[in-house]
């Protein structure tokens, strides 16, 4: 692949991406865990058209492509990611008079929640504490406090690796708990890349919605640890919240290397200093084993493992 990488680098420089295209960029600089080895090639896409061009050129040269957003909800391997890593910084959004909110993949979910509530549109208040972006939220059916993306998504525009640009209705996403047809595809290189999503909101009272957003923000601050982490590590089981099982297994404060189970909320693993991806993965596996032995419950990771494992 090295020859193809060199060819890709030359091609992208010829297309005017010089100064933005980085080689061997540490992905620890681009993840909320502050963990992750180097990307062979790395670039930030500012517009959907750029993202599409970068994706297509790399694919034409058989160079693998990994697309990231805010770098939340992922654990990048210490060995890094082969091929081209694109971070979507496409942040524009707009809302029409019917409450249809159209947002590019890099738009921060929290900003959309605040903006829509302030304008008197309901449906995204639950997202005020979620640090990710629209693209990841669409793919993973992000949710909190009883709400989720499946309830508001109307359509998605994506770049399919085989079929090209498509607009698909929400039904085609085959949503489930914290998953979709995108996330169910185990090979990331075969997943469609979300470019834009339309969310249908409903009329509400701006003052009441803003008060609700403030209350949820305060609640999240009380319950959620601050620091370097990737959000909730595990999905809830059919019967129990993952954090409850982890806490009752006596794992709060459990540590491997620089990775530690939060003492504030047991479903968070923190990078408390110098943690490697291997530390975090080993701690995740220890939690799964202890919870299974104690309660017979299998914990499924909500975070995704990205890169060369």
Catalytic residues: 178, 232, 302
Instruction: Identify whether the C-beta of residue 92 lies closer than 8 Å to the C-beta of residue 104.
Output: yes
Assign residue 42 a region: left if phi > 0, alpha if psi is -120 to 50, beta otherwise?
A: beta
For residue 118, give the H/E element and its range.
helix 109-118
Q: What are the DSSP E strand ranges found in the chain?
A: 22-26, 38-45, 65-68, 74-76, 81-88, 93-95, 100-104, 121-122, 143-144, 147-148, 153-160, 164-169, 193-200, 202-203, 255-256, 259-261, 269-271, 304-306
Q: Which residue has the tokens 């991406």?
A: 17
Report the candidate in 164, 173, 197 with the shortest Cα–Cα distance to residue 69.
Answer: 197
Tell me how many degrees the CA angle 94-158-131 measures, rounded to the nearest 5.
Answer: 60
Q: Which two tokens stand for residue 170?
A: 């929400």
Q: What is the dihedral of CA 62, 80, 30, 57, to 10 degrees?
A: -10
Report the candidate in 70, 62, 15 with the shortest Cα–Cα distance to residue 44.
Answer: 70
Instruction: Identify whether the C-beta of residue 22 lies closer than 8 Å to the C-beta of residue 41.
Output: yes
Distance CA 210, CA 273 (A): 36
Q: What is the DSSP string of 240-255?
A: S-HHHHHHHTT-TT-E
Strand order in the sheet with 153-160: 93-95, 100-104, 193-200, 153-160, 164-169
């Amino acid at each position: 692949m090295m020859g193809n990488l060199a060819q890709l680098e030359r091609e992208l420089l010829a297309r005017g991406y010089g100064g933005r295209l980085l080689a061997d960029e540490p992905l620890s600089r681009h993840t909320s865990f502050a963990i992750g080895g180097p990307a062979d090639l790395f670039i930030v896409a500012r517009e959907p058209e750029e993202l599409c061009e970068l994706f297509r050129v790399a694919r034409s040269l058989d160079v693998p492509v990994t697309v990231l957003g805010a770098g939340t909800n992922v654990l990048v391997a210490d060995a890094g990611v082969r091929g081209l890593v694109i971070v979507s910084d496409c942040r524009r959004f707009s809302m029409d008079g019917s409450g249809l909110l159209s947002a590019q993949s890099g738009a921060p979910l929290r900003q959309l929640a605040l903006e829509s509530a302030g304008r008197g549109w309901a449906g995204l208040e639950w997202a005020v504490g979620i640090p990710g972006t629209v693209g990841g939220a669409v793919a993973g059916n992000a949710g909190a406090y009883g709400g989720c993306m499946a309830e508001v998504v109307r359509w998605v525009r994506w770049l399919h690796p085989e079929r090209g640009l498509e607009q698909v209705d929400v039904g085609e996403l085959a949503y489930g708990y914290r998953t979709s047809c995108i996330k169910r595809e185990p090979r990331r290189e075969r997943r469609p890349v979300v470019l834009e999503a339309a969310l249908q909101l409903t009329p509400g009272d701006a003052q009441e919605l803003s008060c609700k957003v403030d209350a949820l923000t305060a609640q999240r601050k009380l319950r959620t640890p601050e620091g370097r982490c990737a959000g909730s590590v595990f999905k809830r089981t059919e019967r129990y919240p993952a954090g409850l099982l982890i806490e009752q297994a006596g794992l709060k404060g459990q540590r491997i290397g620089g990775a530690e189970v939060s003492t504030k909320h047991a479903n968070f693993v923190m990078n408390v200093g110098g943690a490697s991806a291997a530390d975090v993965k080993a701690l995740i596996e220890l939690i799964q084993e202890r919870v299974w032995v104690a309660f017979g419950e299998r914990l499924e990771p909500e975070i995704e493992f990205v890169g060369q494992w």
